[in-house]
Amino acid sequence: MKTLLALAGLGLSMSAHATITGSLISSDSLQSYSINDFSSASLIETAYTQLLNYETSNNLDLSTAKIVVTDDVFTLEATLGGLLTCYYQGRTATSIEDCASLTAYATGNFATGTTPQEQKSLNAVNDATTIGLQLNRSTTQISSSLQSLRHLRIDHSTAKGGGAGDDLYSMVGPFGFFVNAGGSWGHVDGNTGSAGFALYNRNFNAALDFKISERFATGILFGYTSSAAELDRAQGRFDANIFRFSPFATLTPTENTYIDLAAGYAKHDNAANRQCLTCGGGAKAQFETDEFNILAGTGYTHNIGAWSLRGYGQASTIYMNIGGYREQGLLGAGSGLLTVPEQYVVSVTSTFGVELTYAWSLPFGVLTPRVNGEWVREYANDPRVTRAFTRSGLAASIVSNAAERDWGNMGAGLQLNLSNGLAANLGYQALIMSGSYNHALEGGLRWEF
């Protein structure tokens, strides 16, 4: 146990820019021993010896005693029974190595030669690999495409209002081919641990669907996204080309209800480029990410004449395996180049929303404006501390930002159903999130045959 405490002290000895203070607390939570400077393992051993003497004289259970060290932003808890946990700005570490990395991050002592600004850039590039889990979520794109397909597949012969014959908008055939394209632009604010960056995406989706019966339709959706994150102050850039496919099925148990199911895979081809004084003019890397996702959603629509009010909910899970990589210098070798291991990320969200539409019958078709709003809740996607190494073997910490737990989406759009199985739509959506914003615009076309 003394070895554990000594190692914990050695990990905290990385504190070069701040002194972490705390106390050793006995198992009765009454006796404590102040530690004014936690940069020496000998001080921990001294406190440990004092606690042993206190336990012996008071006949206490030492297995429940623990060390608690804090400087208001960093906390270390070392249970004398053998458990170790560190906390910093929502991040958690449970091993000596990760605690040492997290402590170095908390106190500003990174790998030799890495400036605080470069560390922020490194963290931001790492954050950009998973920012799509919130600002350009793949399951949100799938859900949006399924909703567009469902809208464009609707038989508007039942729409109330004058000006159009019923037979003009009846279903033409069981097959449908759908394409849509669009883009989004946004920004993620920087903080004490990570640089901010602007984000740009271009999306293209195509789907082939087949109506098996009046209550069941299935198909497959293909998608491509070109994503670019430009770090503030020209400190770096992250680019990704994402290719995805997703089989899906839609069940309509009743005229006003539906159930969506989808499962998919996406391949991310990533390229990172960051500023680094000791990396031969900068550092670049190429690596891949495998993404697997599952989506389940349901909704109910209440019709009042030409008005329709839809309430809906969905759950989605995304698993990402971010490949490890070895940085290369832009102008040659450098001591600050990193070897970064694989990272694994799991995101689980729920979405609840409402949508209001009005079916307006015109001589040439049915025009349907809509507005919607939804609330998204994240249950996973926890902060990560990734332990990388320089060419010389020095450890470096890459710390991800804590994910936002709640955010909203607001949208508006127009849909036009024409004769002969043609339909088109145009939509806009805005993200409502603390410290970030994102705007998306897309249009689609469906042909039924």
What does pTM read for this prediction?
0.74
Helices (H), 255-331: none
Beta-bridge mates of residue 29: none
Q: Quick one: tokens of 182?
A: 């669009």
Domains located in the chain, CATH noted: 40-107 (no CATH), 116-156+170-448 (2.40.128.130)
Which residues, including other chains, have CB under 8 Å from residue 272's CB and lie 6 or more apart?
A: 125, 128, 236, 237, 238, 283, 284, 285, 286, 287, 325
Which region, left, alpha or beta, applies to residue 123 given φ > 0 means left and ψ of -120 to 50 means alpha?
alpha
Q: How far apart are CA 14 and CA 107, in angstroms?
A: 8
Beta-bridge mates of residue 92: 87
How many residues would you count in the chain? Answer: 449
Beta-bridge mates of residue 239: 228, 271
pLDDT of residue 172: 60
* CB 214, CB 110: distance < 8 Å: no
If you compute the radius of gyration of the chain from its CA atoms, what whole number of angstroms results? Answer: 28
Q: How far apart are CA 132 and CA 438, in angstroms?
A: 11
* CB 172, CB 449: distance < 8 Å: yes
Which residues, including other chains, have CB under 8 Å from residue 133's CB and lie 6 or more apart?
A: 318, 320, 345, 347, 378, 381, 403
The phi and psi torsions of 120 (rounded to 5 degrees) equal -60, -40
pLDDT of residue 282: 87
Residue matched to tokens 């060419």: 391
Coil vs helix vs strand at 132: helix
* CB 317, CB 158: distance < 8 Å: no
For residue 26, the Cα-to-chain-centroid distance in whole angstroms is 40
Closest C-alpha among 227, 276, 345, 239 to residue 121: 276
Chunked into runs of 10 residues, the chain (449 residues) has average pLDDT values of: 39 38 58 52 55 69 66 64 67 62 51 67 91 88 84 55 42 82 94 90 93 91 96 94 95 93 96 87 93 96 95 96 93 84 95 95 91 96 85 78 91 90 92 94 90
Closest C-alpha among 234, 227, 226 to residue 195: 234
Q: How far apart are CA 21 and CA 27, in angstroms?
A: 20
pLDDT of residue 449: 85
Coil vs helix vs strand at 245: strand
* CB 243, CB 250: distance < 8 Å: no
Q: Quick one: tokens of 300?
A: 């109910």
pLDDT of residue 28: 60
Q: How far apart are CA 100 and CA 84, in angstroms?
A: 11
Q: How far apart are CA 330 and CA 188, in angstroms?
A: 26
